């Protein structure tokens, strides 16, 4: 009986750590992205404000109707304590300094993100015009607050 | 007989609440400046429904610097579905990449007031666009009932 209980407990633990997904996340935020075309692209920046514990971030881009327009199978990123994670809508074109590329099929919309353990993750979006060099900073909002 | 009357009264009450709810009935209120509605500058207002289950109704009115309405107040009601994003522009024919609804504004600058009917999770951003330089400025939105 004890062995069975131990097995169930171990399975539960494995299930929680390995198969925790989009729906299991504890905190939710959103932020617009803009014009994934030509000389414009968006950079999403996540900074872990927690100095001791890592977390997992899921990022999904939606079009203006709310439909996912990015790959939902590869949306999970580990963010270590005090780590900064950047995700871009622009494909790496010989520029090694560009961060993780998330291909999106819509030219604008908004990005939803979820932090699995609900630790203090800070987020903002930078919308960049490569021609003029102009950059716009957009703050992220908690999905469960608002007007 | 009494039961029927009660049911009819209840239905009317629900209908009145749902269909005739207007600007004054809104549960959430916010405001944001708009700037320079001229050929080279215009403002784009973005609203995102953070709720994944409920839709809401948005009212949007632009005011001049003296607080008088400077946009059409009879057609200011827009439904926003769950997870949807709505955009409004003070420019008549915004570039195709901005799929905006044009709101005709008679003042060159001032501020926009908005009210969601049910007070759900509506998030708002404003972008002031300079068409010549391509520069964009983000303006944060404030809750109307908070402040200094």
Q: Answer whether residue B72 is part of any domain.
A: yes
Q: Answer whether residue B17 is part of any domain.
A: no
Task: Establish if B79 touches chain A: CB-CB under 8 angstroms.
Answer: no
A128-145: burial string, b at 16+ Cβ within 10 Å, e else:
bbeeeebebebebbebee
Element (H, E) at B13: helix B2-19
Q: Answer whether residue B57 is part of any domain.
A: yes
Per-residue pLDDT of chain B (148 residues; tens, 9 = 90+): 666 766 665 565 555 444 556 888 898 999 998 877 777 888 999 999 999 999 999 999 999 999 999 998 888 899 999 999 999 999 888 776 667 899 999 998 999 999 999 988 999 999 888 888 878 888 888 888 888 8
Alpha carbon of B61: minimum distance to chain A alpha carbons (Å): 15
Q: Answer whether residue B107 is part of any domain.
A: yes
**Has the ipTM of the complex gone over 0.85?**
no
Q: pTM for the whole thing?
A: 0.82
Domain boundaries, chain A: 22-142
Q: Do B143 and A147 touch (CB under 8 A)?
A: yes
* CA distance linking residue B106 with residue B91, whole number of Å: 11
CATH number at residue B36: 2.60.290
Task: Establish if B110 touches chain A: CB-CB under 8 angstroms.
Answer: no
Residue B134: which domain range? 27-143
* CA distance linking residue A146 with residue B54, whole number of Å: 13
**Which of 36-75 (A) contact B at CB < 8 A?**
37, 62-66
Alpha carbon of B1: minimum distance to chain A alpha carbons (Å): 43
pLDDT tens for A90-147 read 886 666 666 788 889 998 999 999 999 988 999 999 988 888 888 889 999 999 899 9
Using CA coordinates, name the residue in chain B closest to A40.
B134
Q: Answer whether residue B4 is part of any domain.
A: no
Q: Do B97 and A30 touch (CB under 8 A)?
A: no
Using CA coordinates, name the residue in chain A closest to B82.
A66
Task: Establish if B87 touches chain A: CB-CB under 8 angstroms.
Answer: yes
Q: Answer whether residue B66 is part of any domain.
A: yes
Q: Answer whether residue B137 is part of any domain.
A: yes
User: What number does CATH give the domain A22-142?
Assistant: 2.60.290.11
Q: What is the domain count for chain B?
A: 1
State the DSSP string of A85-139.
Answer: EEEESSPPSS-TT--EE--BSSSSEEEEEEESS---EEEEEEEEETTT--EEEEE
Nearest to A35 by CA among A66, A63, A76: A63
């Amino acid at each position: 009986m004890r062995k069975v209980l131990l097995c169930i407990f171990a399975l539960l633990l494995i299930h929680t750590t390995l198969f925790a997904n989009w729906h299991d996340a504890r905190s939710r935020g959103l932020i617009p992205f803009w014009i994934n075309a030509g000389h414009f692209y968006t950079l999403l920046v996540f900074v872990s404000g927690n100095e001791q514990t890592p977390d997992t971030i899921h990022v999904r881009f939606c079009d203006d109707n709310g439909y996912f327009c990015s790959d939902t199978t590869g949306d999970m990123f580990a963010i270590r304590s005090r780590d900064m994670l950047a995700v871009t809508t622009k494909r790496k074109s010989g520029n090694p300094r560009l961060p993780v590329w998330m291909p999106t099929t819509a030219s604008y919309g908004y990005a939803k993100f979820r932090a699995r353990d609900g630790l203090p993750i800070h987020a903002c979006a930078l919308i960049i015009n490569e021609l003029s060099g102009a950059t716009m900073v957009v703050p992220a909002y908690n999905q469960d607050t608002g007007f | 007989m009494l039961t029927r009357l009660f049911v009819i009264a209840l239905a009317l009450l629900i209908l009145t609440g749902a269909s005739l709810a207007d600007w004054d009935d809104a549960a959430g209120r916010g405001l944001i400046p708009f700037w320079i509605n001229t050929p080279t500058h215009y403002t784009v207002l973005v609203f995102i429904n953070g709720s994944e289950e409920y839709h809401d109704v948005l009212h949007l009115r632009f005011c001049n610097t003296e607080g008088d309405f400077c946009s059409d107040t009879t057609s200011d009601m827009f439904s926003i579905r769950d997870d949807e994003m709505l955009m409004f522009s003070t420019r008549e024919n915004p570039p195709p990449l901005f799929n905006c609804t044009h709101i005709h504004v008679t003042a060159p600058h001032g501020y926009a007031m908005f009210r969601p009917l049910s007070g759900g999770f509506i998030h708002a951003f404003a972008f002031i666009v300079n068409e010549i330089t391509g520069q964009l400025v983000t303006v944060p939105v404030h809750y109307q009932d908070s402040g200094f």
